[in-house]
Structure 1
Amino acid sequence: MIHNTHEPDSLPVPDANALAASAALVGLIREEIAAAGGWLPFDRYMERVLYAPRLGYYSGGARKFGRGSGDGSDFITAPELSPLFAATLARPLAQALEASGTRHLMEFGAGTGRLAAGLLNALGALGAEFDSYSIVELSGELRERQRETISKLAGPLASRVRWLDALPDRFEGVVLGNEVLDAMPVKLFARAGGIWHERGVAKSGDGGFAFEDRRAGEAGLDLCELDAALLAEIDAETDVGTDYVTETHAAATGFTRTVCAMLKRGAAFFVDYGFPRREYYHVQRTEGTLMCHYRHRAHGDPFVYPGLQDITAHVEFTGIAEAGVETGADLLGYTSQARFLMNAGITEALGELDPADPARFLPAANAVQKLLSEAEMGELFKVIAFSRGLDGTLDAFARGDRSHTL
């Protein structure tokens, strides 16, 4: 089965250089599809459009993070929204450093570097003792932006930052990944007529791409044990006569497993949007969670401007929790972003600003409202953390922990 998608008419048109880069990436992927017999699984396509050297969305030079389409960015993250996010997040990180007796921090996918700069300053203000702040970043363009931002904003503490090309074999300290898991490639599965198919990518007649579904078990598409069990679980909970599209998350769970195995002492925090398994694969979530972001507009077509738009899927946190615990790490906590930030003191931090200075106070209050509101980021975003060598929990998980829902 082939399903064509169409470019949203409302999206801005990229400039000539960007279109040329996208066309080059399209050519490479079409060659790969031909070499593979005319079909690629969607996770491979997603990996290429996001991470292909020099041409992928995260490995290329396009601006990604910002406050609006006018600055050429595609989306905004919590660190860009308010400096109070970093100032608040620093408190549980500092507590984890002290509780584990470690002195090193590591961040994955540091974006513009604004979160790292904010954390460095906040940790310094808290008197936290640490020796290094490592950033694992594959994009050369983002590394340069991070260096510039951190050097400008973090002062002398910038000298403690170093960049890594790959994970170390072992690490003792505190690990952070903010909106990293949602950018991991996902597999797509579609149920039609009661039969599950793997959804992949084929060449379309217009020089682009189209979805093509192939029945699992045919043409070498044997399901792995975990995917087969998951699809059977969805069948048991839903009407098999209802069409259903969803994702599985081997890349994100594999990454979590690797990070938790690397962690010999300390804690690992992940902040992202998503749901526990029973909500993720709910009977009413029949179209999955795959989403694309371009110039601060969200849409569902992953074949628009390949390499120039972000493609994401919500995180299935039960699988993330299972992956971490399988390595022997402890599940430190799981809760909403709103509860985590309130436990960590974000409202107290806001209260330190003078309401009599509306030019400063009102934008800060509006940003905090977006971070905490159920209608904005407060409920959709979650925080999950793993630990080794920590006794008890952290203040940020002391109230409202939802680990029992995983």
Structure 2
Amino acid sequence: MNLPQPSPDALEQSGRLVSRLRTLIETEGRWISFATYMAEALYAPGLGYYSGGARKFGAGGDFITAPELTPLFGQALATQVAQIMDLSAPHLIEAGAGTGLLAADLLLELERRNALPESYGILEVSGELRERQFDTLASKAPHLASRVSWLDGLPEHFSGAVVANEVLDVMPVHLIAWRPEGIFERGVALDAAGGFVWADQLSSGRVAEAAGALGLALPFEGEYVSELNLAGRAWIGEWAARLEQGAMLLVDYGYPRSEYYLASRSTGTLLCYFRHHAHGDPFLWPGLNDITAFVDFTAAAEAGFEAGLDVLGYTDQANLLFNCGILECLARRAPEESTDYIRAAKAVQRLTGPHEMGELFKVIALGKGITQPLISFRRGDRLHTL
């Protein structure tokens, strides 16, 4: 791997997280699940990737999300958000709001359409990101910032729209290894020098139950490795218990189960990101890398359905944005011959192109008390593939 080197301060912070992880492994019987490791690497207070203060989004961070590319993403998504609020209640919650750009874009576009929510709640675990979100809203939509509040947890009761863009992929996953002799859980242990190493043990409990329920055949030789996002399922279940009327829009990269567990995908989907470089070593500089796994959208649909939610639609990001009018948003952006229009058109191509984000990213809607078809799935609904 040819990666840029972190600063001395960043390496010192990572070292403190390494010490914390070593202590945890020792106290847990010299083995922890990868889900526990990933949770610490991303969310350990003051040290994890999302709680340690390092810049994450944009050109100076580790990756770029759709709202960072162009405000047209949020402007188009506002079409669906407005419909959900109209069919339920004028309230909106965004989970994992990044830099706050999507919140600003949604609010400004909903204002233009005379469809502003009475409240805009942001669920954010990172104190550093909360500050950036506050600054972004104060800069881009100062007259609307009073509608926004930051939530420390899921509300007890809620009606309205919930938006989560690239949230499920950073929830801690269990790593599973199917071998000829059985189903194992891949966890993390320490070698003689105190370094992190992979260590497998026979799966048990809810992990074994969930892995077995997939019905994957054991290989005749070698192993098949993939992920289980039990945290994502639980999170959807928690929302189901609180949502009285409305819908959740979950946008992320992933596949239906029939594609997620293909025989050719035998090493799983786990990836790490550091300054726009993708790599596969989650033990490198813990706390400085984003760690993600693709989303099994069939599991998301099952979690919602089993908890009492309706599965309202499933499609790719291209169809989501086209159905929600992104081309109309582009047309009013600037004259077609202008530099601004050309730049925006290129961003739309990246968001919707079949070989870029348009096919890789999907959206699923889970709701309650929504009786009309949602605009996002007017064309190209892939619900049958789940």
- Considering the TM-score relative to the shorter chain, is it more than 0.5? yes
Q: Shift of residue 376 of structure 1?
A: 0.6
Range moving further from structure 2, 355-364 or 103-112: 355-364
CA distance in structure 1 between the aligned counterparts of 2:222 and 2:17, rounded to whole angstroms = 36
Query: Equivalent residue of 2:354, what SS?
Result: coil
* Residue matched to 1:96: 84
CA distance in structure 1 between the aligned counterparts of 2:207 and 2:153, rounded to whole angstroms = 30
Say whether residues 1:120 and 2:100 are aligned partners: no
* Letter of the structure 2 residue corresponding to residue 117 of structure 1: A
Say whether residues 1:27 and 2:15 are aligned partners: no
Say whether residues 1:132 and 2:112 are aligned partners: no
Say whether residues 1:85 and 2:69 are aligned partners: no
- Out of 262, 265, 277, the position equivalent to 2:245 is 265
Q: Superposed, which structure 2 residues align to 1:372-387 within 5 Å?
A: 372-387=352-367
* Letter of the structure 1 residue corresponding to residue 101 of structure 2: R
Q: Superposed, which structure 2 residues align to 1:5-404 within 5 Å?
A: 8=1, 10-67=2-59, 71=60, 73-100=61-88, 102-216=89-203, 223-230=207-214, 233-235=215-217, 239-404=219-384
Query: Equivalent residue of 1:378, what SS?
Result: helix
Q: Is the 8 A contact 1:50 1:56 kept in 2?
A: yes
CA distance in structure 2 between the aligned counterparts of 1:272 and 1:80, rounded to whole angstroms = 15
Query: Equivalent residue of 2:254, what SS?
Result: strand
Alignment RMSD: 1.4
Q: What residue ranges of structure 1 are gaps of 5+ in the alignment?
A: 1-7
Q: Identify if the C-alpha distance between structure 1 residues 356 and 228 changes in structure 2 by more than 3 Å, giving closer, same or farther.
A: closer
* 1:307-359 Cα deviation digits (max 9, x unpaired): 00000000000010011111221111110000010011111211223445432
Q: Shift of residue 128 of structure 1?
A: 0.4
* Letter of the structure 1 residue corresponding to residue 63 of structure 2: F
Q: Shift of residue 222 of structure 1?
A: 7.7
* 1:74-129 Cα deviation digits (max 9, x unpaired): 000000011100000011100111122x0111011100000001000011001104
Query: Equivalent residue of 1:156, what SS?
Result: coil
CA distance in structure 2 between the aligned counterparts of 1:390 and 1:356, rounded to whole angstroms = 38
Q: Shift of residue 207 of structure 1?
A: 3.8
Q: Shift of residue 227 of structure 1?
A: 2.2
Q: Shift of residue 240 of structure 1?
A: 3.5
Query: Equivalent residue of 1:234, what SS?
Result: coil
Q: Identify if the C-alpha distance between structure 1 residues 367 and 25 changes in structure 2 by more than 3 Å, giving closer, same or farther.
A: same
CA distance in structure 2 between the aligned counterparts of 1:165 and 1:87, rounded to whole angstroms = 27
How high is the sequence identity, in percent, across the aligned residues? Answer: 51
User: Number of residues paired by the alignment?
Assistant: 386
Q: Identify if the C-alpha distance between structure 1 residues 379 and 163 changes in structure 2 by more than 3 Å, giving closer, same or farther.
A: same
Q: Shift of residue 224 of structure 1?
A: 3.8
Query: Equivalent residue of 1:55, what SS?
Result: coil
* 1:343-390 Cα deviation digits (max 9, x unpaired): 111112112234454320111011100100111100010010112121
Q: Identify if the C-alpha distance between structure 1 residues 392 and 292 changes in structure 2 by more than 3 Å, giving closer, same or farther.
A: same
Q: Is the 8 A contact 1:194 1:241 kept in 2?
A: no
